């Protein structure tokens, strides 16, 4: 049985959304962030030493990294859905965006989150972080020009992975003009499977307002 080790208010929400879209059986093991530190509880370290969420367990397989988890689910349980055919140029684009989300787009967002907790708000670093946020979020916004989804204008695993970037961007880079990214987020939030995933996953502060 597929089991998602799910932390409230976290990247694992997008994995639940994917599983709801696929309509396959899965189980959720719930973990709560510490009210003071916001960190995951030590119980998650018993599943994987990093103690981060999401973790997917499936028989003998324990998989971390949401991009790898999405890809694993699609390869093993997707029946061809949400993934361009391997060997095609579209598949290369799917892999590129799947890696891009955590490999590049999340970095300036995380820098903004952590530096803003410094006593002076990390003032000296903010211009550089702003440039990077504009560069990456602007890149995503232009990739969506005239398209609803990132690859072939068809919903793929890349969109599930990029959904978290689109969800936290307005909180960490407010006021940026990103109309296509805003529409992407709204499109995701309107999907019945997304709403079902929200109900199953519990507290998630980055969903529809
Ligand atoms: N790149 C990883 C990031 C995993 C990660 O940092 N997860 C956060 C939740 S969004 C977490 O578990 N935070 C709790 C902690 O660090 O204790 C992924 O995409 O799965």
| DSSP per-residue letters across 13-50 | HHHHHHHHHHT---EEEEE---TTT-PPPGGGGGT-TT
CB of 66 closer than 6 angstroms to any ligand 1 atom: yes
Mutate to test the pocket of ligand 1, among 18, 34, 37, 52 (most ligand atoms within 8 A of CB): 52
The domain made up of 89-191 has a fold known as Glutathione S-transferase Yfyf (Class Pi); Chain A, domain 2 (1.20.1050)
pLDDT of 41 reads 98
Give CATH 3.40.30.10 domain extents, the chain.
3-82+193-201
**Residue pLDDT, tens place only, 55-93:** 999 999 999 999 999 999 999 999 999 999 999 999 999
Q: Give the mean pLDDT of 101-129.
A: 97
Binding site membership of 11 for ligand 1 (Cβ less than 6 Å): yes
Please tell me the predicted confidence (pLDDT) of residue 199.
97
What's the pLDDT score for residue 22? 98
Distance 146 CA to ligand 1 centre (A): 32
CATH 1.20.1050.10 domain span(s) along the chain: 89-191
Is 138 a residue whose pLDDT tops 80?
Answer: yes
| Helix extents (H) in the chain | 13-22, 66-77, 89-100, 106-115, 126-143, 157-172, 179-189, 192-201
Give domain 3-82+193-201's CATH architecture.
3-Layer(aba) Sandwich (3.40)
pLDDT of the residue at 209: 76
Give the chain's mean pLDDT: 97
User: What CA–CA distance (Å, rounded) separates 15 from 87?
Assistant: 25
CA nearest to 101, candidates 147, 164, 156: 164
Instruction: Provide the pLDDT for residue 194.
Output: 98
């Amino acid at each position: 049985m597929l089991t998602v080790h799910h932390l409230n208010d976290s990247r694992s929400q997008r994995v639940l959304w994917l599983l709801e879209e696929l309509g396959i059986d899965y189980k959720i093991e719930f973990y709560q962030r510490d009210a003071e530190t916001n960190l995951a509880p030590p119980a998650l370290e018993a599943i994987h030493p990093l103690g981060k969420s999401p973790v997917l367990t499936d028989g003998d397989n324990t998989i971390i990294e949401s991009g790898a988890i999405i890809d694993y689910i699609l390869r093993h349980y997707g029946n061809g859905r949400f993934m361009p055919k391997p060997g095609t140029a579209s598949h290369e684009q799917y892999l590129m965006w799947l890696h891009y989300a955590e490999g590049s787009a999340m970095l300036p967002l995380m820098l903004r989150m952590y530096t803003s907790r410094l006593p002076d708000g990390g003032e000296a670093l903010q211009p550089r972080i702003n440039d990077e946020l504009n560069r990456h979020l602007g890149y995503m916004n232009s990739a969506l020009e005239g398209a609803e989804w990132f690859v072939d204008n068809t919903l793929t695993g890349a969109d599930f992975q990029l959904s978290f970037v689109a969800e936290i961007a307005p909180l960490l880079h407010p006021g940026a003009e990103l109309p296509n990214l805003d529409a992407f987020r709204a499109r995701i939030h309107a999907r019945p499977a997304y709403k079902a995933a929200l109900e199953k996953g519990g507290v998630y502060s980055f969903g529809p307002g």
